[in-house]
Structure formats: structure tokens, C-alpha cells
Amino acid sequence: MRRARIGVLALQGDFAEHTAALREVGAQADPVKHPEDVAACDALVIPGGESTTIGRLCERFGVGDAIRDLHRRGAPLWGTCAGLILLAKEIVDSDQWRLGLLDAEVARNAFGRQVDSFEVDLPMQGVDDGPVRAVFIRAPYVTRVWGDTQVLATFEDKIVAVREHNLLGIAFHPELTDDRRVQQYFLSMLE
């Protein structure tokens, strides 16, 4: 049986860290940046980075439609930090480019600037064996959800992880820790 191919959108941001973390748990993970590469994936990670830059590059490289097609096929899509922003249907006070797939509204840089970055242990629904280490770097958070979107984790009453069917949105960076349970959770969405 063929192993699932996990693409990591490699336009900007920490795609190398995501690729390495997924490979650590045995996934076939590869950086992708062109529509035909995205279309060949069974699942896709949209990494953290600068959401406006990633959005512009999605337009320039023409991968937005390929990502939307993956979503329509039911392939799991996981956005972390900037990736969460790009998945959301609404972004507070912004008309920047987005995929607009996730029934959620997101506030950009909501936890402050780079110097306000922090780490915390965070319980996350669907991830067993205790809290995950959450690294927040210029992180967004979800201001509201609707439809079938479920809240998986909160920090100080702010929504920081959500799931809607095959979409996973996380405000923090699990790829920057040694804990691989969030990657395993994402891979379980392929089953």
C-alpha cells in the first residue's frame, strides 16, 4: 500500500521545520510550491511565516486553487500561525488574500510583536498524555467560529486551535518543539 504524501507549502516561513517534524513520525513529507506538486499531495501543511507574504506568493505561484481543490477532495489541510490566518474565512480588519476555507475569524499578531513571543503547556482536545508545549511567535488567535468548527484548545480564554472536518488550524508552532503528538494528530486525519 502506498504511503500518504504530505506536502508542506514551501513559499516562505518554517516549512523546513514542519517537513523534518513530519518525517520524524514516519510521514512521507516534502516541500511543495507549484500547483502540480500541491495537487499530488494527500494532505498539506501551510506553515507559519508572514501571512501577507505567503498569500502574495500563493497568488504568484497559482497554488491557491490547487489548495482549494485538495480541500474539496477531502484531503487534510493544517495551517499553523500564518497558515491558520490563510485558512480562515475572515481576518479581523484585513482584506489580505486568503484561502477562505475555515469557518472562523482570526485576529493577526493578536498576542503581540516578536518580543512578546512565549511558550506554555497547553491541553489540546484529541491529543492524549498531557498538555502539548505551545510556542507562540507573533501569533494570531481565533476570535469566533461557526458552522461545524470545533475548538480544540484555548489559552487565556482565546481560541488557539480549531478543527472543521479536514481542516486543522493552530495558532502556535508544534514543529518547534520535540513533542510530535500534534503531527500524529494531523496524520490521523488521513484515516
Which is the catalytic residue, given 41, 71, 81, 164?
81
What percent of the chain clears pLDDT 70, i.e. is strictly above it? 98
- Structural domains of the chain, count: 1
| Residue 117 pLDDT > 60 | yes
| Residue 1 pLDDT > 70 | no
**Residue 191, pLDDT score:** 84
CA distance 119 to 78: 20
* pLDDT per position as a tens digit, 158-189: 999 999 999 999 999 999 999 999 999 999 99
**Residue 111, pLDDT score:** 79
**Residue 2, pLDDT score:** 64
CA distance 169 to 107: 13
The question of whether 41 is a catalytic residue gets the answer no
* pLDDT per position as a tens digit, 78-105: 999 999 999 999 999 999 999 999 999 9
Q: Quick one: 82 exposed, middle or buried, by C-beta within 10 A (0-12, 13-18, 19+)?
A: buried
CA distance 61 to 158: 33
CATH number at residue 173: 3.40.50.880
CB count in 10 Å sphere of residue 142: 25
In which domain, by residue range, is 61 found? 5-188
